[in-house]
């Protein structure tokens, strides 16, 4: 029998949390705190910006975004609009970067405010599809028509590249049903509840950060702390979790 929990998409999950607990903090990082409402608002801007530059439902969108708030915004923008996100390590360079973008058939690359990533993309501009800075996509945009809606539970919604430990990185095609199964397995086997605060040092192009931490925290209505600057680095500036 199919677990009914696995029919809920990532976009559905965010909509549900915004409807019930919009001002609850779910993310804490070096960039501060993020509530469900803030993630919703930021992702809507990015989604409209991507649609305005011609991205269509089912298109692959490469993302090179390090900052937690920006990475979450573009992640949920893709989820709500039916874009296939391809999150890439911001340190990818040269042929590895080109191969990843071309291999996933990306129609656009979204880059955050990481200067090194921007410089690398500019150097390869002639071999890559359109490059858009996230700050430009955050500007209010006029969207004409379009067919934006979340992808189905069994459609490919995410392509994650392996680390390349045993060879060249490979793009793994994932659906919402597959990733929700992973997140729920963590919740169920660890016995997580809304009183738990999860912690990760992995960047958001990593499957553990996304589904073992962020989505798992959303499922239990808990919180997740994302350490951007390295494991337990002094003076990280991460706000303390709530005790409510």
Whether residue 35 is contained in a domain is answered as: yes
* pLDDT tens per residue, range 47-83: 999 999 999 999 999 999 999 999 999 999 999 999 9
pLDDT at 231: 44
Question: What residue numbers bound the domain in which 204 lies?
Answer: 4-226
pLDDT at 232: 47
Whether residue 208 is contained in a domain is answered as: yes
pLDDT at 234: 45
- The bridge status of strand 223-226 relative to strand 197-200 is parallel
pLDDT at 238: 59
pLDDT at 6: 93
Whether residue 234 is contained in a domain is answered as: no
| Domain count across the chain | 1
Whether residue 160 is contained in a domain is answered as: yes
Whether residue 244 is contained in a domain is answered as: no
Please report, in tens digits, the pLDDT of each residue of the chain (244 residues total).
678 899 999 999 999 999 999 999 999 998 899 999 999 999 999 999 999 999 999 999 999 999 999 999 999 999 999 999 999 999 999 999 999 999 999 999 999 999 999 999 999 999 999 999 999 998 877 676 666 799 999 999 999 999 877 888 899 999 999 999 999 999 999 999 999 999 999 999 999 999 999 999 999 999 999 998 654 444 445 566 655 5
CATH code for the domain in which residue 172 is found: 3.40.50.12780
Number of Cβ atoms within 10 Å of the Cβ of 142: 7
pLDDT at 164: 77
Whether residue 239 is contained in a domain is answered as: no
pLDDT at 11: 96
Whether residue 238 is contained in a domain is answered as: no
Query: What average pLDDT is seen over the chain?
Result: 91
Burial of 223 (0-12, 13-18, 19+ CB in 10 A): buried
On whether the CB atoms of residues 78 and 159 are closer than 8 A, the answer is no
């Amino acid at each position: 029998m199919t677990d009914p929990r696995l029919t809920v998409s990532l976009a559905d999950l965010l909509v549900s949390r915004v409807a019930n607990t919009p001002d609850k903090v779910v993310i804490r990082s070096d960039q501060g705190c993020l509530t469900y409402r803030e993630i919703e608002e930021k992702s809507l801007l990015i989604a409209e910006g991507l649609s305005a530059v011609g991205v269509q439902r089912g298109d692959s969108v490469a993302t090179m975004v390090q900052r937690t708030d920006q990475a979450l915004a573009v992640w949920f923008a893709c989820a709500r609009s039916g874009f296939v996100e391809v999150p890439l390590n911001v340190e990818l360079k040269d042929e590895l970067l080109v191969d990843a973008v071309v291999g996933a058939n990306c129609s656009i690359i979204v880059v955050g405010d990481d200067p090194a990533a921007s410089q690398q993309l500019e150097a390869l501009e002639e071999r890559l599809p359109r490059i858009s800075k996230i700050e430009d996509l955050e500007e209010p945009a006029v969207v004409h028509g379009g067919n934006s809606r979340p992808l189905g539970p069994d459609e490919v919604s995410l392509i994650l590249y392996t680390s390349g430990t045993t060879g060249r990185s490979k793009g793994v095609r994932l659906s919402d049903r597959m990733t929700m199964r992973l997140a729920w397995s963590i919740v169920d086997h660890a016995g997580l509840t809304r009183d738990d605060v999860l912690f990760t040092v992995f960047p958001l192009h990593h499957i553990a950060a996304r589904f073992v931490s962020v989505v798992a925290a959303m499922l239990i209505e808990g919180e997740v702390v994302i350490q951007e600057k390295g494991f337990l680095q002094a003076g990280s500036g991460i706000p303390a979790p709530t005790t409510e």
